Amino acid sequence: MDSQMDSVTITNGYWYYFNDQDVRITAHGSGYSGKETIYVNDEVVSDKRNLVKMNSCHKFCHLGNDYEVRFKVTSLMKATVECSLYRNNQHLATETKAFLSKENQSVKKQIFMCFLAGLVFGGLFVLFMESFSG
């Protein structure tokens, strides 16, 4: 596993890794386009785009087993996404990853600073425009 793909970023998205006996299942969710892709042993078995729903499901069959991978957004504020793997309707594993985590405090500060800058510059722009109109 690539350590760069282990952490969540806007460009890398969310990567989840599961092993079921000799079957390696990898799930990827894009951080900006909403495209979700499921790989079995590095071969794409399912992909779709999900831009508005808080959860989605990918079903596929491999070696006579019915698999299901479920994505669920559990926190919009932290951009936390939970990914679960099922085989023949039986839960095998769940991984949860977040864009904003305790280890990623600098991102929170950046978002807050951008919000604050937008607020200040927006307020200054309104004052500037009022001076021309009145």
> pLDDT per residue over 32-74, tens digit each?
788 999 999 999 999 999 877 889 999 999 999 999 999 999 9
AA letter at 95: E
Q: How many beta carbons lie within 10 A of that of residue 133, not counting itself?
A: 5
pLDDT given for residue 1 in this prediction: 47
Residue with tokens 């985590």: 101
Distance separating alpha carbons of residues 110 and 126, to the nearest angstrom: 24
- Measured at the alpha carbon of residue 83, what is the angle toward residues 82 and 85, in degrees to the nearest 5? 145
Q: Which two tokens stand for residue 66?
A: 């019915």
Q: What is the mean pLDDT of the chain?
A: 84
User: 89-125: buried (b, 16+ CB within 10 Å) or exposed (e) per residue?
Assistant: eeeeeeeebbbbeeebeeeeeeeeeeeeeeeeeeeee
Query: pLDDT by residue (tens digit) across 106-129?
Result: 666 667 667 777 888 888 888 888
Q: What span, in angstroms and rounded, lies between the C-alpha atoms of 61 and 68?
A: 9
- Please provide the distance, in angstroms rounded to a whole number, between the alpha carbons at the two ends of the chain: 62
